Amino acid sequence: MKLEIFQVDAFTSEPFHGNPAAVVPLTEWLPDDVMLDIAAENNLAETAFFVKTEDGFDIKWFTPKVEINLCGHATLGSAYVLFNELGFDGDVIRFRSHKSGALGVTRDGDKFVLDFPAYPLNEMEQSDELAGALGVVPVKVWETQGNMVMLRLESETQVRELTPDINALLGIDFDEIIVTATGDTCDFASRMFAPRIGIPEDPVTGAIHCSLIPYWADELGKTEMFARQVSARGGELFCKLAGDRVKIGGNATLYLKGEIHV
């Protein structure tokens, strides 16, 4: 079987920056173990697969190890492929995930704006184990949806210079570990580590902004913000809180397209 495959750098307008996502359009679903094998072979943070439905597209995302509940950059990459490579007619694409429900992507000039759910935060006690694995004592710590933990640090510099013990993070009971602080050249900065699900560090992570946007909107007293994920590759996100939804905008650029044989 031959399948089309695209690789898109998301949340950037330049190749070799942002977060690379593989995108595989399907006419019908493959078995989950085959999609997981494809994702493992791609060896990117996420591979997205989608199938056309009557009113949009069903979508799934896989890391090299597991299927995940929600992925921003690979959804943005999928929208890029549909709009720019597959001739989608219109400005709004409706996606549906069996794990996270209704999602959307709107084309806005050269940007693509994700419509995702907003996630609440629940403050938790400081964890010596987590602080030790990260190598820093956070200002505050919260649990959030999707088995994620979010830590506020003192500065963007502290976020940028963090060098966590990835092996120690494997023993932490959270799938995704977010660190964030107010930004120097943006409203807020972040990084994300997820070695338990096969991603030592994710370069730019749309889905964590489902938690970051509501938090920083409350902290900063505004609903529209500009954010940076300050990983080595780096990425830019244009953020808005809209009630119980978040809007996450970004650019994307095509890196490769071809076919795979399975």
Give the DSSP H/E element, type plus range, for residue 32. Answer: helix 32-42
Does one domain contain both 130 and 239? yes
Does one domain contain both 33 and 106? yes
CA–CA dist 120, 213 (Å, integer): 10
Q: Which of 4, 28, 41, 46 is catalytic?
A: 46
Contact 118, 129 (CB under 8 A): no
Contact 149, 182 (CB under 8 A): no
Does one domain contain both 237 and 181? yes
CATH code of the domain containing 90 = 3.10.310.10
Tokens of 230: 């300050």
Ordered DSSP codes for 124-173: ----HHHHHHHTS--SEEEEETTTEEEEE-S-HHHHHH----HHHHTTSS
How many whole angstroms from its chain centre is CA 202? Answer: 8
pLDDT in the model for residue 74: 98
Mean pLDDT, the chain cut into blocks of 10 residues (262 residues total): 97 96 98 98 98 97 97 98 96 97 96 97 95 96 95 98 96 96 98 96 97 98 98 97 98 98 94
Domain that holds residue 255: 2-117+248-261
Does one domain contain both 103 and 181? no
Does one domain contain both 143 and 215? yes
The model carries a pTM of 0.96
Contact 58, 50 (CB under 8 A): yes
Contact 138, 110 (CB under 8 A): no
pLDDT in the model for residue 229: 98
Does one domain contain both 205 and 223? yes
Does one domain contain both 85 and 139? no
Does one domain contain both 41 and 148? no
**Cα atoms found within 13 Å of the Cα of residue 34, Cβ hemisphere only:** 12
Does one domain contain both 254 and 227? no
CA–CA dist 251, 245 (Å, integer): 20
pLDDT in the model for residue 146: 86
Q: How many domains does the chain have?
A: 2
| Residue 46 known to be catalytic | yes
